[in-house]
Chain A
């Protein structure tokens, strides 16, 4: 079955760190551009980060310098290392496949998401 499964979401204190994972199955993965997109409670979608098959990475200005995206093609897994977490990072984090092959935002496959809550 073609799917993405996120994990790693948790309750973390402001200033803390967390690593999210996204396990892919049913498709090649190593030739695909992958993204992280988040959705704060009751709010809209927000681009977080992307990584192309070449390893090139892209970040939203709101997370640049705090978050790092990476991938392990041998494990078909996408990662998001999150640091210096803030209240406003609280959201459901989705991983998504970009079918454009670049970073044009044609998200044809989504995971179910994992909830990150930043709070004392």
Chain B
């Protein structure tokens, strides 16, 4: 099984909105609503920021939003802040009864 496909890096300026993509197949992202997103700062454990495609856990800023279309999912961060600089991973349930992560996207806030 290969990882879900994410761009290696994206960048944006403070205040801007950026969208991170996550591309899978009809056996994972395209087949289920069970897509989640994680933020990970260097040396730290990942943090859940989106689950079930577009739901935010309690305490997560509403600047984070998620969506899905066909075999791809997206994470949008609006009003970019310096603290958003981190690695972001998408994750999907798969038809093999496992979960699969994306390769991760490094977000740089310019």
Point out residues on A near B: beta carbons under 8 Å.
35, 37, 44-47, 50, 58-61, 94, 99-100, 103-108, 110-113
Please encode chain B, from 66 to 81, with 1 for each CB lying within 8 Å of some chain A CB and 0 for all others.
0000000000000000
Question: How far is A50 from B91 in the complex, measured between Cα atoms in Å?
Answer: 15
Please determine whether B104 and A44 come into contact, CB atoms closer than 8 angstroms: yes
B84 near A: Cβ within 8 Å? no
Please determine whether B101 and A45 come into contact, CB atoms closer than 8 angstroms: yes
B14 near A: Cβ within 8 Å? no
How many Å from the CB of A96 to the closest CB on chain B?
8
Please determine whether A58 and B89 come into contact, CB atoms closer than 8 angstroms: no
Chain B residues whose CB sits within 8 angstroms of the CB of A44 once the complex forms: 3, 87, 89, 101-104
Please encode chain B, from 37 to 62, with 1 for each CB lying within 8 Å of some chain A CB and 0 for all others.
01010000111100110000100000
> B1, B3, B34, B101: which contacts A104 (Cβ < 8 A)?
B34
Please determine whether A105 and B91 come into contact, CB atoms closer than 8 angstroms: yes
> B32, B48, B92: which contacts A107 (Cβ < 8 A)?
B48
Please determine whether A105 and B45 come into contact, CB atoms closer than 8 angstroms: no
Cβ-closest chain A residue relative to B87: A44
Chain A residues whose CB sits within 8 angstroms of the CB of B97 once the complex forms: 58, 103
Cβ-closest chain B residue relative to A48: B98
Please determine whether A112 and B45 come into contact, CB atoms closer than 8 angstroms: yes
How many Å from the CB of A23 to the closest CB on chain B?
15
How many Å from the CB of A38 to the closest CB on chain B?
10
| Given A106-B52, A107-B38, A45 contacting B46 (CB threshold 8 A) | yes
Chain B residues whose CB sits within 8 angstroms of the CB of A110 once the complex forms: 45-47
Cβ-closest chain B residue relative to A111: B45
Question: How far is A7 from B3 in the complex, measured between Cα atoms in Å?
Answer: 27
Question: How far is A37 from B45 in the complex, measured between Cα atoms in Å?
Answer: 11
Question: How far is A34 from B8 in the complex, measured between Cα atoms in Å?
Answer: 29
